[in-house]
């Protein structure tokens, strides 16, 4: 059994769902939150300080911090602070074009992004150079350069300690994935939890208002719903809807991104055995 289970990313590739599926496992020691982020923000980390962030008991300490894989100093700090041989590294990868768009849509939903998706490609280098915070916020495209990130992981950790999963398979076969992950970690297999995919909602002006309307709708008696609740929900939903958020990627821009990622994706297939046929933008490479 490993002492640590580090979920290093990628962001928007199912890490929250992975956390929720493992959260109540009796042999997993949860941290203070899903993304502990200790090695992102602590320049001189210590094992004792890190261990104090987890619940007591036996079993792997679980830290799912999706910025770790992308941010080179974090991976280096992990390998220097923890015993790589006792650390399980779990990687979730997603079609990088779809991952970038999901990342962008999340920032739109948080009212942190005012540019069209296509424009952010040219802006990324200047934006992410401004600060560590902006690097986290606006690294839509470079986060999908997975082969470079895996190079760092495999240089610092034993290859048998690294397990790569695909978002596209994980979402559709969660019990099979969970059984494999538990076997990899050396912990008992448990039934998958029934939960919804963590989808980013971006087509509303106020998520709080949308949640409030749904909460009220659940509390109102059925007889009242038939009389006026349906009409009210439709009116509030229409007023709260955003018209500036695209649901799909422009096909020409998607082709441009496919070319941008082509060599990286081929390296994933040829050097790391990733089944890129599961990614719709790269299935024909």
* Tens-digit pLDDT string for the chain (285 aa): 999 999 999 999 999 999 999 999 999 999 988 999 999 999 999 999 999 999 998 899 999 999 999 999 999 999 999 999 999 999 999 999 999 999 999 999 888 999 999 999 999 999 999 999 999 999 999 999 999 999 999 999 999 999 999 999 999 999 999 999 999 999 999 999 876 555 555 556 666 776 676 677 666 665 555 556 666 666 766 666 655 566 799 999 999 999 999 999 999 999 999 999 999 999 998
| Domain identity same for 42 and 172 | yes
Q: What is the pTM of this model?
A: 0.84
- How many distinct structural domains can be found in the chain? 2
| Domain identity same for 109 and 218 | no
Is residue 285 included in any domain, yes or no?
Answer: no
3-state secondary structure of 62: strand
| Domain identity same for 141 and 262 | yes
| Domain identity same for 77 and 192 | yes
| Domain identity same for 28 and 94 | yes
| Domain identity same for 259 and 216 | no
Range of the domain at 227: 207-240
Residues 6+ apart with CB under 8 A from 256: 121
Element (H, E) at 166: strand 162-166
């Amino acid at each position: 059994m490993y002492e640590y289970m580090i979920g290093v990313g990628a962001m928007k590739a199912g890490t929250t769902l992975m956390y929720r599926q493992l959260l109540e496992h009796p042999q997993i020691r949860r941290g203070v939150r899903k993304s502990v982020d200790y090695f992102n923000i602590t320049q001189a980390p210590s094992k004792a300080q890190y261990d104090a962030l987890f619940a007591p008991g036996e079993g792997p300490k679980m830290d799912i911090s999706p910025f770790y894989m992308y941010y080179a100093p974090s991976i280096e700090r992990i390998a220097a602070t923890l015993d790589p041989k006792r650390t399980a590294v779990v990687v979730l990868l997603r079609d990088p074009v779809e991952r970038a768009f999901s990342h962008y849509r999340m920032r739109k939903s948080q009212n942190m992004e005012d540019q069209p998706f296509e424009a952010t490609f040219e802006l990324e280098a200047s934006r992410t150079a401004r600060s560590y915070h902006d690097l986290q916020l606006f690294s839509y495209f470079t986060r999908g350069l997975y082969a470079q990130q895996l190079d760092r992981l495999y240089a610092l950790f034993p290859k048998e300690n690294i397990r790569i999963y695909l978002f596209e398979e994980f979402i559709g076969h969660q019990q099979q994935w969970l059984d494999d992950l538990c076997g990899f970690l050396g912990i008992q297999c448990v039934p998958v939890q029934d939960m919804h995919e963590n989808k980013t909602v971006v087509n509303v002006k106020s998520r709080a208002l949308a949640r409030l309307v749904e909460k009220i709708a659940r509390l109102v008696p059925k007889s009242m719903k038939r009389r006026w609740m349906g009409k009210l929900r439709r009116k509030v939903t229409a007023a709260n809807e955003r018209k500036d958020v695209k649901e799909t990627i422009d096909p020409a821009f998607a082709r441009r991104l496919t070319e941008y990622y082509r060599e990286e994706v081929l390296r994933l297939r040829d050097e790391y055995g990733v089944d890129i046929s599961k990614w719709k933008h790269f299935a024909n490479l």
